[in-house]
């Protein structure tokens, strides 16, 4: 018989020959005869719960207590687990408590075995308000909790902007698809400098301080912005030539709100623009980018994407100069304006004397 972990609980053993009100607690020595019925019960310590039996003989590992006939030696382990599993950041600032009844899965739907906390030194700014202290990436990204678990955050009161009450602080998570911070229903304990909120998944979290009279967009007051008419012009350019990327942003929700649009080129942020729209309103946005290296680039604006190509630079050779007049070959065509008088002169020089001689000879007759 064994217990795991050692402080997780204890095992009570009762036989048909023992007083059921005075069980034997493991570890102990008792006399059991083959064929005796025995009752084995796992009893968890405070803060633990029983998770099952392991070892031999093969039994229903979740049955507790076990009632069996003692015919063979027993090699059983009673397994216990804490009622809460606490994950704490290295600096002790953040704590995630996962109750035993919570289903915690990673993005591949496998049981979650660890949580890592990474400081984000330069988080995206909220449309309204400011980020208090650094933000944190809680990984693995995409892990989920059902039901939600509690994120506890110990903050530095001196980091709160002047004029903002501690009670107005809120924990928010960054919505990558929407390009904005969404606040969670948070509870603040000013005496302990502690703020808590339920979280259903792991992502980037921050404490936000909203400005007066400017409430943050909340997850329960979802504002839906639709991106359409996404165009890239021209789609092919020379190195350094500008490309215009435009789209139409439409607020299709029943509430007004704002959204930070993020343009990425090859997954790197190239530009941002904040759009503030009323219900049913729309606005055209335009970005201008250029790239000096040849290649094909992927442009992404929220859930829209397209490509443009930068061509290889080419060297344009100047055409050869036209040949000079001295270099021009002689024309093969006959210039009759010049040749005609010459031919007439030759004709007269040859035939006119012959004609006169023939005439004198005629008169001599």
Same domain, 91 and 50: no
Please check whether residues 91 and 75 belong to one and the same domain: no
**Residue 170 near residue 207, CB atoms below 8 Å:** yes
Is the previous residue joined to 140 through a cis bond, with omega within 30 degrees of 0? Answer: yes
Sign of CA dihedral 164, 168, 169, 174: negative
Residues 71 and 92 in one domain: no
**Would you state the pLDDT for residue 315?**
62
> What are the helix (H) ranges across the chain?
336-364
pLDDT surpassing 60 at residue 23? no
Burial code (b: 16+ CB inside 10 Å, e: under 16) for 316-341 equals eeeeeeeeeeeeeeeeeeeeeeeeee
What is the arithmetic mean of pLDDT over 314-338? 58
109 and 181 in a common domain? yes
In a domain, 202, yes or no: yes
Can you give the CATH number for the domain in which 231 is found?
2.60.40.10
Cα atoms found within 13 Å of the Cα of residue 362, Cβ hemisphere only: 6
Q: Say yes or no to pLDDT of 76 above 50.
A: yes
Residue 186 belongs to domain with CATH number: 2.60.220.30
The residues, any chain, with a CB within 8 Å of residue 81's CB and separated by 6 or more, are: 8, 48, 49, 51, 100
Residue 214 resides in a domain: no
pLDDT of residue 356 exceeding 70: no
Residues 153 and 197 in one domain: yes
| Structural domain includes residue 13 | yes
Residues 123 and 168 in one domain: yes
Number of domains the chain is built from: 3
In the prediction, which pLDDT does 320 show? 60
Most confident among 173-187, 268-282, 302-316 (mean pLDDT): 173-187
Q: Which two tokens stand for residue 350?
A: 């040859």
Do both 99 and 203 map to the same domain?
Answer: yes
pLDDT, position 316: 56
Distance, CA of 194 to CA of 260 (rounded, Å): 29
Residue 220 lies in a domain: no
Phi and psi angles of residue 145, each rounded to the nearest 5 degrees, phi first: -130, 130
pLDDT higher than 60, residue 24: no
In this predicted model, which residue has the larger pLDDT, 41 or 207? 207
Phi, psi values for residue 302, rounded to 5°: 55, -115
Residue 180 lies in a domain: yes
Indicate the Cα dihedral angle 172, 175, 181, 182, nearest 10°: -60
Region of 363 on the Ramachandran plot (φ > 0 left; ψ -120 to 50 alpha; else beta):
alpha
Q: Of 48, 82, 116, which residue is a domain's last?
A: 82
Q: Which residues sit opposite 40 in a β-bridge?
A: 13, 66
- Is residue 349 assigned to a domain? no
Last residue of a domain, one of 82, 116, 144: 82
Listed residues 82, 109, 139: the one ending a domain: 82
**N-term to C-term CA, the chain:** 169
- Reported residue count of the chain is 365
pLDDT over 70, % of the chain: 77
* pLDDT (average), residues 303-313: 89
24 and 93 inside one domain? no
Q: Is the peptide bond before 206 cis (omega within 30 degrees of 0)?
A: no
Outline where DSSP puts E strands in 66-143.
66-69, 75-82, 84-88, 94-99, 103-105, 116-120, 130-139
Pair (177, 247) in one structural domain: no
Question: What pLDDT does 354 receive?
Answer: 65
Residue 123 lies in a domain: yes
Cis peptide before 147 (omega within 30 of 0): yes
CB atoms within 10 A of CB 273: 16
Is 148 within the bounds of a domain? yes
111 and 198 belong to one structural domain: yes
Contact of 76 with 53, CB cutoff 8 Å = yes
Please report the pLDDT score of residue 365 as a whole number: 47
How far apart are the C-alpha atoms of 27 and 173, rounded to whole Å? 49
Quote the domain boundaries for residue 71. 2-82
Q: What is the pLDDT of residue 219?
A: 40
Q: Same structural domain for residues 191 and 101?
A: yes
Q: Which of 23-27, 153-157, 172-176, 244-248 has the lowest mean pLDDT?
A: 23-27
Pick the closest to residue 261 from 230, 236, 222, 297 (CA basis): 230
Residue 250 confidence (pLDDT) above 70 = yes
- Given the DSSP bridges, would you call strands 295-301 and 257-265 parallel, antiparallel or unpaired? antiparallel
160 shares a domain with 103: yes
The rounded mean pLDDT for the chain is 81
Region of poorest pLDDT, from 91-95, 226-230, 236-240: 226-230
Q: Can you tell me the distance from the alpha carbon of 35 to that of 32, in angstroms, rounded to the nearest whole number? A: 9
Lowest mean pLDDT among 113-117, 141-145, 153-157, 224-228: 224-228
DSSP one-letter code for 83: S
Residue 69 has pLDDT above 80, yes or no: no
């Amino acid at each position: 018989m064994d217990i795991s972990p050692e402080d997780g609980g204890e095992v009570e053993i009762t036989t048909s020959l023992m007083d059921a009100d005075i069980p034997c607690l493991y570890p102990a020595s008792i006399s059991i005869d083959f064929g005796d019925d025995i009752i084995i019960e796992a009893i968890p310590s405070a803060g633990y719960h029983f998770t099952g039996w392991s070892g031999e003989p093969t039994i229903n590992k979740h049955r507790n207590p076990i009632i069996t006939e003692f015919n063979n030696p027993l090699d059983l382990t009673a397994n216990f687990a804490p009622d809460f599993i606490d994950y704490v950041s290295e600096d002790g600032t953040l704590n995630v408590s996962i109750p035993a009844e919570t289903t915690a899965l990673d993005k591949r739907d496998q049981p979650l075995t660890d949580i890592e906390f990474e400081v984000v030194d330069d988080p995206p700014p909220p449309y309204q308000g400011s980020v208090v202290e650094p933000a944190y990436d809680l990984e693995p990204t995409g892990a989920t909790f059902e039901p939600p678990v509690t994120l506890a955050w110990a903050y530095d009161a001196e980091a709160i902007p002047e004029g903002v009450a501690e009670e107005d602080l809120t924990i928010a998570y960054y919505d990558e698809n929407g390009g904005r911070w969404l606040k969670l229903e948070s509870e603040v304990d000013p005496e302990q400098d502690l703020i808590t909120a339920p979280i259903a998944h792991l992502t980037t979290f921050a404490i936000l301080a909203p400005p007066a009279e400017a409430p943050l967009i909340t997850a329960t007051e979802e504002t839906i912005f639709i991106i359409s008419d996404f165009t890239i012009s021209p789609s092919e350019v020379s190195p350094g030539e500008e490309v215009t990327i435009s789209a139409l942003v439409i607020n299709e929700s029943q509430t007004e709100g704002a959204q930070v649009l993020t343009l990425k080129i090859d997954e790197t942020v190239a530009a941002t623009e904040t759009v503030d729209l009323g219900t049913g309103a729309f606005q055209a946005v335009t970005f201008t980018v250029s790239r000096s290296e040849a290649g094909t680039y992927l442009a992404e604006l929220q859930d829209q994407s397209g490509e443009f190509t930068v061509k290889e630079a080419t060297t344009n050779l100047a055409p050869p100069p036209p040949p000079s007049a001295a270099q021009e070959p002689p024309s093969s065509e006959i210039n009759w304006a010049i040749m005609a008088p010459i031919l007439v002169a030759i004709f007269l020089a040859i035939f006119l004397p012959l004609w006169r001689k023939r005439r004198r000879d005629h008169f001599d007759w």
